Amino acid sequence: MLVARNYVPRGAKSEIDLVGYDGYVGVVEVRTRTAREDQTALPELSVTAEKQQVVARTAKRFLMERHLKEYPMRFDALAVEELSGASPVVRLHKAAFSPQM
């Protein structure tokens, strides 16, 4: 079940793209790339260690605001590649990262 979309804590610049719940709190970082000839990197590879830490801190604030401290969490990455003249390619990487909080 989708719980939140584009969550930004008060006074912060960080954002969580999607938050869901299914026995655990699922935090999803969405990365989209438009395919170009000079670009070969997969969008999911842009979820750097620094970005993972930012997402983890923001997720901690999300849980605190909603009084959900004891729920298990999973951090996923959703990659979307928009290809010219074709349907987008979408990949969900469950438990893509596990940053220290």
- What's the number of domains the chain is made of? 1
Range of the domain at 25: 2-97
Residue length of the chain: 101
Burial class (CB in 10 A: 0-12, 13-18, 19+), 60: middle
pLDDT tens, residue by residue, 43-66: 999 999 999 999 999 999 999 999
CATH number of 14's domain? 3.40.1350.10
pLDDT beyond 70 at 28: yes
pLDDT band at 39 (very low <50, low <70, confident <90, very high): low
- Enter the pTM of the model: 0.86
